[in-house]
Structure 1
């Protein structure tokens, strides 16, 4: 959200790393502990007209290792308001959209009602109508935010669980069902990786969530080889196959949608078809671990906690 209440699309409310804001608005640098523990230049401190003077700054998660994403297009593109994004999506052939809402409580304290802004934009674009064929997923780690969208039965409400869990108790599943009908798990909650070796899956967790009538998504996936376990053979398609076929996730959240689309549209993703000369097989946990020098594998970490009601 901008200072004057314009909702727009960006991965973070901190403009410092994802835009060229530091070259123009360095005096706006501040620390907001409710959002992050480092200084930043935040969107709610700038007018929309000021944000429009900036350029995007494409930064990957491994920039410190000099693994950059498309340096030639580092500052290409423009910022889109939420309304512009909805119109753009509706004119395309995609099957749905995902809108992530963060820091809603803090923004409301600054008289910026992001939930109201998103709701009105979706209604204005007709996404609440049964005639709209595109799905709408509202993602947040804030239960009140998701509960506010219960008045839109067409929308899927996705609870983000931002910490590792190994299982979920039935009371916690029942609690989630009060405000959400789907969850997004961290990659490390779906597949156990230690020292880049795939050790196993948390199938019981996914099964328990499914038994509670919750859809399960896994994310966020990234294509960079430094983000992949050795068992995925530096191939992001193998991780997608593993999450959907072995883990049993209903879908994935990725920063590379073209990669995911190419997998799901490929006949090679149909693991059950025996007439195909080639299929994209999921990784086998422990396969490479058996061949590795034990000294190259770090000690096993303690088990992740079981999700309990808040």
Structure 2
């Protein structure tokens, strides 16, 4: 509990030092802009506390929600009753899913709940003393971390109120069921005057009507909760879809409604947004507040329109120019707090130059949204606010330089389903696994016979696909086309050209790719202009040395090795050929089993030597992030920018990084607590010793030997000889180090390995 208490105490200090903030909300200067019913900012409701990380309804989850969310965050409690009539907070009638009841008692019972039989172990069969003394809480969803299980006991409603949160929301889900078992939610609320909830919700009309008179002259608001539209409300025997057409009737016993977010922004079968409904506007017209539920950063059903950015989803409900819900029920209250406090209405308030740090550098364009290295991906990156767009240069059989993530066409193209699917070979100088390489095909063959294919870096078994409807959109482009497009953009501050495998291309293919890139840049007059900076990136110091000697372009040394420190001698050597360094994310924030173990000092050391530092590659999908970032891309970005103080971010999703730079709290000297960088290793310190991730050996230090390379050897043949003039192997491919023939089964196995 230690870390959470410290965070909570810090929040209290913030509130005491800025009393006006608590009085009017997180963003008092924006109150008049809100399209909520009362013109105030939407409330953030933490469902079971911070249940996206900690066990739902645990004291740790509640402390965490208060500690790192907005100062007015409301704590949600699903009220269940015990055998002796006490109210506890637990998200289900049954104890099985969220507690270790099976250790204490494994006798199941079956009850009828709204006419349907349900088996398990129920709270009403145990006294509050039994539950508090013998049970511990656990995470109820398998996709969430189990590392915080069994550290907290069940929380009673009285205990929750003793935490003195800004407000409490009591949800009474099954009043009818408890009444059938001779227990009364109504009596529990009325006979406990110390319970002073800010909101009470229920999906049962009869229950809300029965308590209306008792709370009529109090500050407690009653909210009718809508369930799925085809379900039947037990006291009226009407479907929730039918009740949705009778908002005036609901207004007679409730001041607001709580609806699943799909009631407002429905999605189709392909998980894309449909036009929003008129629900919020209609409810506001008759004086009903609207609260939206089911927000979770790790949701399995996430509209592709949001590009796995939960902040974008929240903003669509509160800052769309047409309406705003009055509150958001979420498992991750930090994200909703960010949206309300710092990211709403920011277009009206933002003014900045495109070069302001951190630099937003695309990774294959906006490759999280569209197939990478295509004309559409680059256009999208510019629209999304990238400062720098990138081209990874590859070469074709006829000597054309093109932009593709990899020389292996199995990455980012449809080659495996094309007529060229058998043209694979193994080239250890490039990678140990087989590939189908660009230099075995002419540019017309690639351009006309293949299609782009969006890259899904996360194992597809999780269902985290990227924008499947547009997965083959766009056109491949040449380096010359890329340069022309970038040159015409007034929004870009520069370009990044990535060059790998230069030695192989020189010796085996006989092409001087470095000179070809220099000539292309010169042809587009990049060598005598200052409006857009040119950055050359490579993981080979020998390549950057040539550019450093022959041009004035900025050189970026990409370090693919994972390391935890850097020798002074290595830094001195880097200074001779590089202006900046691109580091893997985990070299800045090392992690074990998806938990961060601390922060290295590498960024500071490199910056002290006047080397800028860029972190790569940032992605929005929650599975790519350590748990410490709360499955929130903005927390991840903020931790690298405000915490590690990097100079730039290389990302598949430029829109998220650009939005971070525009947020209205960006320049605050004392930003809200939910915008502060995380403290690496805090979650590890909080875990019980028995479930700590295994310790790992210290990451190696980067030495001179890792950096120094022999100079590039000259091309093996005259540069005027095109790649297409080289003698092909019998199957039409260029000579390779290890020609192979794979069976269909082996090829399928390779594809599976690629996905993993």
User: Aligned residue for 2:633?
Assistant: 236
- The correspondence for 2:604, drawn from 207, 220, 225, is 207
Instruction: Confirm whether residue 225 of structure 1 aligns to residue 619 of structure 2.
Output: no
Q: Distance in 2 between matches of 1:143 and 1:10?
A: 21
Normalising by structure 1, report the TM-score: 0.93
Instruction: Confirm whether residue 118 of structure 1 aligns to residue 514 of structure 2.
Output: no
Q: How does 1:120-199 map to 2 (within 5 A)?
A: 120-129=519-528, 131-151=529-549, 154-199=552-597
SS at match of 2:577: coil
* C-alpha contact (below 8 Å) 1:269/1:279 kept by paired residues: no
* C-alpha contact (below 8 Å) 1:140/1:160 kept by paired residues: yes
Instruction: Confirm whether residue 300 of structure 1 aligns to residue 695 of structure 2.
Output: yes
Q: Distance in 2 between matches of 1:3 and 1:82?
A: 15
User: Aligned residue for 1:281?
Assistant: 676
Q: Distance in 1 between matches of 2:439 and 2:559?
A: 25
SS at match of 1:38: strand
Q: Distance in 1 between matches of 2:438 and 2:469?
A: 26
Pick which of 88-97 and 294-303 moved more. 294-303
* C-alpha contact (below 8 Å) 1:181/1:214 kept by paired residues: yes
* C-alpha contact (below 8 Å) 2:560/2:583 kept by paired residues: yes
Q: Distance in 1 between matches of 2:444 and 2:433?
A: 25
Report deviation, 1:132.
Answer: 3.2
Q: Distance in 1 between matches of 2:445 and 2:690?
A: 54
Report deviation, 1:234.
Answer: 0.9
User: Aligned residue for 2:657?
Assistant: 260
Report deviation, 1:225.
Answer: 0.5
Instruction: Confirm whether residue 18 of structure 1 aligns to residue 412 of structure 2.
Output: yes
TM-superposition CA deviations, 1:19-73 (whole Å, max 9, x none):
1112220231111111111111100111001010210011211143332111111
Q: Distance in 1 between matches of 2:577 and 2:433?
A: 31
Q: Distance in 1 between matches of 2:680 and 2:504?
A: 42
Report deviation, 1:290.
Answer: 3.3
TM-superposition CA deviations, 1:199-243 (whole Å, max 9, x none):
2111x2222212222111111111110001111111112111111
- Structure 1 residues 87 and 197, CA gap change in structure 2 (3 angstroms): same
* C-alpha contact (below 8 Å) 1:222/1:255 kept by paired residues: yes
- Structure 1 residues 265 and 134, CA gap change in structure 2 (3 angstroms): farther
SS at match of 2:597: strand
Normalising by structure 2, report the TM-score: 0.39
User: Aligned residue for 1:3?
Assistant: 397
SS at match of 1:18: coil
Instruction: Structure 2: state its 5+ residue gaps.
Output: 1-394, 706-756
Pick which of 61-70 and 230-239 moved more. 61-70
Report deviation, 1:307.
Answer: 1.3
Report deviation, 1:278.
Answer: 7.7
Q: How does 1:30-45 map to 2 (within 5 A)?
A: 30-45=425-440
TM-superposition CA deviations, 1:176-205 (whole Å, max 9, x none):
112112111111110122222222111x22
Pick which of 7-16 and 116-125 moved more. 116-125
* C-alpha contact (below 8 Å) 1:172/1:307 kept by paired residues: yes
Q: Distance in 1 between matches of 2:540 and 2:633?
A: 30
Q: Distance in 2 between matches of 1:266 and 1:219?
A: 22
Instruction: Confirm whether residue 85 of structure 1 aligns to residue 482 of structure 2.
Output: yes
* C-alpha contact (below 8 Å) 1:220/1:255 kept by paired residues: yes
- The correspondence for 2:456, drawn from 60, 66, 77, is 60
* C-alpha contact (below 8 Å) 1:159/1:184 kept by paired residues: yes
Pick which of 290-299 and 23-32 moved more. 290-299
Q: Distance in 2 between matches of 1:295 and 1:277?
A: 34
- Structure 1 residues 295 and 76, CA gap change in structure 2 (3 angstroms): farther
SS at match of 2:613: strand
Q: Distance in 2 between matches of 1:76 and 1:297?
A: 45
Pick which of 284-293 and 16-25 moved more. 284-293
* C-alpha contact (below 8 Å) 2:405/2:411 kept by paired residues: no
- Runs (4+) of structure 1 exceeding 6 A deviation are 276-279
Q: Distance in 2 between matches of 1:189 and 1:271?
A: 28
Larger radius of gyration: 2
SS at match of 1:249: coil
* C-alpha contact (below 8 Å) 2:412/2:454 kept by paired residues: yes
* C-alpha contact (below 8 Å) 1:191/1:201 kept by paired residues: yes
Q: Distance in 2 between matches of 1:97 and 1:242?
A: 25
Q: Distance in 2 between matches of 1:241 and 1:303?
A: 26
Q: Distance in 2 between matches of 1:68 and 1:205?
A: 34
* C-alpha contact (below 8 Å) 2:558/2:583 kept by paired residues: yes
TM-superposition CA deviations, 1:134-170 (whole Å, max 9, x none):
1221110111210111146542101111111111111
SS at match of 1:299: coil
- Structure 1 residues 17 and 206, CA gap change in structure 2 (3 angstroms): closer
Q: Distance in 2 between matches of 1:34 and 1:151?
A: 26
Report deviation, 1:114.
Answer: 1.7
